[in-house]
Structure 1
Amino acid sequence: MQAQPLVPDWYSARARALIKGGDIAGLIRWARQQRGWRQADLGKAAGYSASAVSRLETGVRPATDIDMLNRLTDALAIPQSLFAAALGMAPDAPPRTTVTPTHQGGRGGFEEDPMKRRSVLGAGAAAVPLSVLTALDDALDVSPAPRAAPTPDRVVTEYRQARALFDGGDHPRLMRALPDLLATAEARADTGEGADYARLAACYDLATEALSKIGQRRSARITADRSTIYARISGSPLAAASSARALSIVLRHEGRATIAQHVTLQAAAALDAAGPSTPAQAAALAQMLCTASYAAAEAGDRERALEMIHDAERAAAQLPSMRSCHISTATVTLYKVGVLWSLGDAGAAVAAGRTLNPAQFSTAERRGRYHTDMARAWWRWGKPEETAQALLGAHHIAPAEIRDRASIRAIVTELSQRHPRAGGVRELLTLTRLR
Structure 2
Amino acid sequence: MSRAQRADLARQAQAIRRACVDQGMGAGQVAAAILQLLPDILPLEAWRWARGWSRPQALAAFLALYEAEGRPTPPVTTAMLCRWEHGTVAMSRDYEHMLCRLYGMSPNQLRPGAATASAPAETPRHPRSVTRRDGAVTVNGGSYDGEGINSMRRRTVLAAGLSIPLAALQRVDDALAVPPRSDSAELAQAAARLRAARRQFDRSELADLVAALPGLLASATAAAEQADTPAGWALVSATYRLATDTLSKVGSKPSARITADRAVLYAARSGDPVAAAASDRTLGMMLRSEGRPATAAAVMSRGIDNLEATGLSTTAQAALYLRLLSARAYTYAWAGDRARALEGIGEAERAAARIPAMQPTAAPFARLYRVDIHYALGDAGTALYAARGLRDDMYRTPERRGRLHTDLARAWWQWGKPEETAAELLAAYGHAPAEVTDRPSIRTIAAELVKQHPRVAGVRQLSKAISPRTAVTV
Match in the other structure for 2:186: 151
Given that residues 290 and 309 in structure 1 are in contact (C-alpha distance below 8 angstroms), is that contact kept between their aligned partners in structure 2? Answer: yes
Given that residues 28 and 50 in structure 2 are in contact (C-alpha distance below 8 angstroms), is that contact kept between their aligned partners in structure 1? Answer: no
Secondary structure of 2:131's partner?
Answer: helix
User: Which residue, 323, 339, 357 being the options, matches 1:287?
Assistant: 323
User: Which residue, 402, 418, 424 being the options, matches 1:384?
Assistant: 418
Given that residues 212 and 249 in structure 1 are in contact (C-alpha distance below 8 angstroms), is that contact kept between their aligned partners in structure 2? Answer: no
Match in the other structure for 2:220: 185
Alignment of 1:404-423 (within 5 A): 404-423=438-457
CA displacement at 1:104 relative to structure 2 = 2.3
CA displacement at 1:270 relative to structure 2 = 2.2
Quick one: distance in 2 between partners of 1:91 and 1:126?
10
Kindly provide the CA deviation profile for residues 17-46 of structure 1, in whole angstroms up to 9, marking residues without a partner as x: xxxxxx9757732xx5xxxxxx34334434
Identical columns (%): 42
Quick one: distance in 2 between partners of 1:113 and 1:415?
28
Match in the other structure for 2:28: 41
Q: Which moved more, 1:127-136 or 1:159-168?
A: 127-136
Match in the other structure for 2:237: 201
Match in the other structure for 1:19: none
Kindly provide the CA deviation profile for residues 339-378 of structure 1, in whole angstroms up to 9, marking residues without a partner as x: 1111122112112212110111111100000000000111
Match in the other structure for 1:228: 264
Alignment of 1:2-151 (within 5 A): 28-29=23-24, 32=25, 39-45=26-32, 46=34, 48-49=46-47, 52=50, 82-85=128-131, 89=135, 102-105=145-148, 114-115=153-154, 118=155, 122=158, 124-148=160-184, 150-151=185-186
Flag the 1:142–1:423 CA change in 2: closer, same or farther, 3 A: same
The answer to whether 1:358 aligns with 2:392 is yes
Q: Which amino acid aligns with 1:254?
A: E
Match in the other structure for 1:395: 429
TM-score in terms of structure 2 length: 0.72
Quick one: distance in 1 between partners of 2:293 and 2:137?
40
Q: Which amino acid aligns with 1:85?
A: T
Match in the other structure for 1:4: none
Given that residues 378 and 387 in structure 1 are in contact (C-alpha distance below 8 angstroms), is that contact kept between their aligned partners in structure 2? Answer: yes
Kindly provide the CA deviation profile for residues 248-269 of structure 1, in whole angstroms up to 9, marking residues without a partner as x: 2211221222221221122112
Flag the 1:262–1:225 CA change in 2: closer, same or farther, 3 A: same
Match in the other structure for 2:372: 338
The answer to whether 1:239 aligns with 2:275 is yes
Match in the other structure for 1:427: 461
Flag the 1:180–1:42 CA change in 2: closer, same or farther, 3 A: closer
Secondary structure of 1:321's partner?
Answer: helix
Quick one: distance in 2 between partners of 1:334 and 1:370?
7
Flag the 1:139–1:392 CA change in 2: closer, same or farther, 3 A: same
Secondary structure of 1:215's partner?
Answer: coil
Flag the 1:429–1:52 CA change in 2: closer, same or farther, 3 A: farther
Q: Which amino acid aligns with 1:144?
A: P
Given that residues 126 and 214 in structure 1 are in contact (C-alpha distance below 8 angstroms), is that contact kept between their aligned partners in structure 2? Answer: no
Quick one: distance in 1 between partners of 2:280 and 2:190?
22
Secondary structure of 1:103's partner?
Answer: coil
Flag the 1:54–1:288 CA change in 2: closer, same or farther, 3 A: closer
Quick one: distance in 2 between partners of 1:222 and 1:199?
17
CA displacement at 1:155 relative to structure 2 = 1.6
CA displacement at 1:308 relative to structure 2 = 1.4
Aligned residue-pair number: 372
Task: Give the RMSD, CA atoms, in angstroms.
Answer: 3.1
Kindly provide the CA deviation profile for residues 163-221 of structure 1, in whole angstroms up to 9, marking residues without a partner as x: 01111111111012111111111112213211111111000000000000000011101
CA displacement at 1:423 relative to structure 2 = 1.8
Flag the 1:411–1:144 CA change in 2: closer, same or farther, 3 A: same
Flag the 1:101–1:215 CA change in 2: closer, same or farther, 3 A: closer
Structure 1 unaligned residues grouped into runs of 5+: 1-22, 33-38, 56-73, 93-99
**Could you say which structure has the greater relative contact order, defined with CA pairs below 8 angstroms and 6 or more residues apart?**
2
